[in-house]
Chains A and B, each alone.
Chain A
């Protein structure tokens, strides 16, 4: 579990990138918090710097779009999903629970 920031520091429409390996992006989409892998699966670009619209984030480089709820790409050029991660708020602090890597104990 990784503390990210205080909830008030992640306003609606905001995003934060955390320097995990691989990095994770946390979004506040109309009051709902989501976390996904930050790097676009098409080419090297940071989705935390992408364009947020509803539950979709558009990559700033080639306009690939991902559904924050599922990590699935909704259009080309991305063809592979990004991983999603659970987000909680505890005592006003946003926490990300990175999805376990394949083959490791949760």
Chain B
């Protein structure tokens, strides 16, 4: 392979570039990024960056030394428009083309938006530019903030807004936020954090429309209520960025379909991170984006799937001064019980169990016991659940998916 093109310059793309060099690829390395920014870490955007505790320098995923060491051609601020049928040419929006022998697809996902005309004061929170614009508005005086969607982005944003002194309401269409991720018992516990943080939580009712002419002034709910709002944050999940691949031969279905080794229908094209549906599951997890590139790159350089990857789902969330950590593959019907600490004390470890086997763990401010269980789950999870696919997956789902962890839809 003489040229490898990484499409996407965020966490998974950067990790893939690192892996290419670490695994001995010394050819031409092209990295295409839609955003104008060098790779940065997104998790702090809804937390320390929004509250002003962290600045942009602290978001950087890489530094000058490493960037030079990678010896890559970076193309920022340009979006990929297509991939030819053989996967040998990446077309860029500005008309340029990149001829390539291998492709790493790392185009991530975009914040899902509400239908209707754009109104001032309505935000999503996915990119640095999103966060800058929301932060500027939050720092210019007290606001009535309505957060649509009680998932992680919504909850963390609500927490940050409350911390800045704004009046905050969270609207969640489901009976409780985070139900698919945590199950009813623990979702109820996390919902309680909003109340503790002085944030009103409205559940079980969807949003009918946003009110306002030029700027938003309210959120109308389907039951007729109108919540006055100066700022609306829409946190209703993310959509994988696969539009540019529409004309390619790759199979697309809620992401780029890959086998368990991140290899697509074309052996010289691999996919990693939020855009990749690996072995039937798309996990929008930071740890998946960092774990997949090593295996994806190994398979890319080998020209076939020689290794598979199935990271244990793991996520964390900082809300209202509490740190929530979750790991494992919970399914509906799993029993959950607190094994250390107590919910009332705000510090506990809970285990999810099925047939006497631990399937997942959730902790609030209980990091060390959580790590112990997480390591045990990782060990038990190391054996692949399905055999290594001999042929690339072209279509279909290889494995029942217990968890997608997309943010619950609020509408």
Contact = CB atoms under 8 A, between A and B. Distances in A.
Contacts of B248: none
Given A61-B316, A62-B287, A76-B290, A43 B44 contact: yes
B371 A62 contact: no
B286 A51 contact: no
Given A43-B41, A51-B371, A60-B370, 5 more contacts: A51-B368, A61-B323, A61-B367, A77-B290, A79-B63
Contacts of A49: 367-368
Interface in A50-66: 50-51, 58, 60-63
A76 B16 CA distance: 13
Given A46-B367, A61-B316, A79-B63, A51 B43 contact: no
A49 B371 CA distance: 9
A91 interface: no
B151 to A, nearest CB: 19
A60 B63 CA distance: 24
Interface of A: 43-46, 49-51, 58, 60-63, 76-77, 79
Contacts of B18: 76
A62 B368 contact: no
A14 to B, nearest CB: 11
Nearest to A44: B48
A60 B290 contact: no
Contacts of A77: 290
B378 to A, nearest CB: 10
A96 to B, nearest CB: 21
Contact of B368 (A43, A44, A60): A60
A3 to B, nearest CB: 24
19 contacts: A43-B41, A43-B43, A46-B367, A49-B367, A49-B368, A50-B367, A50-B371, A51-B368, A51-B372, A58-B371, A60-B368, A60-B370, A60-B371, A61-B316, A61-B325, A62-B286, A76-B15, A76-B18, A79-B63
Interface residues of B, number: 20
B248 to A, nearest CB: 31
B314 to A, nearest CB: 9
Contacts of A50: 367-368, 371
A74 to B, nearest CB: 15
Contact of B367 (A44, A60, A76, A79): A60
A76 B44 CA distance: 17
Interface in B369-411: 370-372, 375
Nearest to A77: B290
B44 A51 contact: no
Interface in B274-312: 286-287, 290
A60 to B, nearest CB: 4
Contacts of B371: 50-51, 58, 60
Rank and list the top 7 A-B pairs by shortest CB-CB distance, nearest first.
A60-B367, A49-B367, A51-B371, A49-B368, A60-B371, A61-B316, A60-B368
A77 B286 CA distance: 11
Contacts of A79: 63, 66
A76 B22 CA distance: 13
A62 B63 CA distance: 19
Contacts of A60: 325, 367-368, 370-371
B166 to A, nearest CB: 22
A77 B40 CA distance: 12
Contacts of B286: 62
Nearest to A60: B367
A16 B63 CA distance: 32
Contacts of B44: 43
A85 B41 CA distance: 29
